[in-house]
């Protein structure tokens, strides 16, 4: 851990830039967008099957 901190201090600009890039990957807007893209990429027939399964699991019929 001490070596890692020393390396970060030695090249602060680079490490701070990389930390910002990493944080952007976990930004809620990006994460939600990726989840929605993947959800919408499911074929309509498969989406209906998944929805019926979710309805059954929630006790909403089916």
**Domain locations in the chain?**
2-57
What is the C-alpha separation between 23 and 28, in angstroms, rounded?
Answer: 10
pLDDT of 18 = 95
DSSP 8-58: HHHTHHHHHHHHHHHHHHT-HHHHHHHHHHHHHHS-HHHHHHHHHHHHHHT
* Count of beta carbons in the 10 Å neighbourhood of residue 8: 14
Give this prediction's pTM. 0.46
Q: What is the pLDDT of residues 12-59, one digit of tens each?
A: 999 999 999 999 988 988 889 889 998 888 776 666 676 777 778 777
């Amino acid at each position: 851990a001490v070596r890692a901190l020393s390396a970060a201090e030695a090249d602060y600009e680079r490490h701070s830039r990389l930390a910002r890039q990493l944080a952007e990957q976990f930004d809620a807007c990006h994460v939600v967008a990726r989840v929605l893209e993947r959800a919408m990429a499911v074929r309509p027939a498969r989406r209906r099957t998944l929805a019926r399964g979710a309805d059954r699991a929630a006790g909403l019929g089916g």
